Structure 1
Amino acid sequence: MRLISLRYDGQLHRVWQRMEPGSLPGSYRIPAGAAVQERDGTTWSSDYPVVALFWPKVFYQVFVLLKPDVTDYYANVITPAIFGSDLVVFIDLDLDVRIENDAVSLVDVDEFTRRSHLYPQSWRNEAVAAAKQLVAMAKRGIGPFRPALAAALRAEFVHESSSSSRTVVS
């Protein structure tokens, strides 16, 4: 499966080349080292596994960054995702919320300010509301930022990784 991020004008923004559905509805596992291609053709990858969380009709998505010693988060304010059989597509609305070492910050406000006049008014309203909601949830450690959810996702990824790397001897 692939995860495709578009810009407001339909142009490609970023493509995660490999992900698999997780056990929770709307969750997708992205293994460490999975290629992410930028619009300009450059690629990068994370050194750790990531779980992408989506909800229908919601103007945000959350990446749970399963780093070796800590769980951090990166949340994108987006249009509601469209789910296909082998891909998930969304329009990135620039605003992001980063949670690193329990510090919550709203980022890319300058990008949103620069481009938001090109968005429909309803997107602008939803984007601002989604950013506020994400910051509030992150600061309180609720919703997708619950420590218990992160622990469950980490356990699922570790279990899946160890299951797929086992060698069967007959």
Structure 2
Amino acid sequence: MRDVRVVYRKFDEKLHWHQWMRFLGEDEYGVWLGAAAGSVSQRGDEPVVTQEQAHVQLFPRGKWFTALFNDEPRYTEIYADITTPVEFSDDVVTMIDLDLDVIKRRDGNVFIDDEDEFAEHQVQYGYPADVIATARETCDWLVEAVSTDEPFLTVYKTYLDKVR
């Protein structure tokens, strides 16, 4: 298995979250990467954050989101970022974070986070109208999908088993 660099940027290309993850495979949903408990991630040049639980991440091809799936007992089960479609190279995946997040808690509660940041950045970065519309549509779809559709129900668990 190979390591892959995950790089989220903001619309102005400024470095956002980034980390190394292990390639786990690809299926009809996209590319799956994983990180064991104790792995590290970093936001921009801020101090490194150590992850207490294992997690896997889905990078769909041609879709406007990525999804992170946390191992138990973490209270956040699924954290989906609305992004531009992922760009893939041999050992790097990159995308632009468009602020909106869909979060599913272990108790089944689903909500949208960072709508205020999305509104601010539309003005600050001059998001084009089609980017705003696609981000919003994707976000609205994910609010339902994380509770009703694969890979959000069981598929991700097979990848999580590989990094535990």
Cα offsets for 1:58-109 (capped at 9, x unmatched):
0001001112477701000000011111111000000001111211010000
Query: Which residue of 2 is the match for residue 133 of structure 1?
Result: 141
Query: Which residue of 2 is the match for residue 98 of structure 1?
Result: 103
Q: CA RMSD in A?
A: 1.7
Comparing both structures, which one devotes a greater share of its residues to helix? 1
Specify every segment of 5 or more residues in structure 2 that has no aligned partner in the other structure, as ranges. none
* Structure with greater contact order relative to length (CA < 8 Å, sep ≥ 6): 2
Specify every segment of 5 or more residues in structure 1 that has no aligned partner in the other structure, as ranges. 159-170
CA contact (8 A) 1:97 1:105 kept: yes
Cα offsets for 1:18-71 (capped at 9, x unmatched):
211113341001222222111143211210111110111100010011124777
Q: Which has the larger radius of gyration?
A: 1
What are the equivalent positions in structure 2 for 1:73-152 lying under 5 Å apart? 73-101=78-106, 102-117=108-123, 118-140=126-148, 142-146=149-153, 148-152=154-158
Comparing both structures, which one devotes a greater share of its residues to strand? 2
**Which stretches of structure 1, 4 residues or longer, exceed 3 Å deviation after superposition?**
68-71
Measure, in 2, the Cα distance between the counterparts of 1:70 and 1:46.
Answer: 13
**TM-score, structure 2 normalization:** 0.87
- Aligned-residue sequence identity (percent) comes to 26
CA contact (8 A) 2:17 2:41 kept: yes
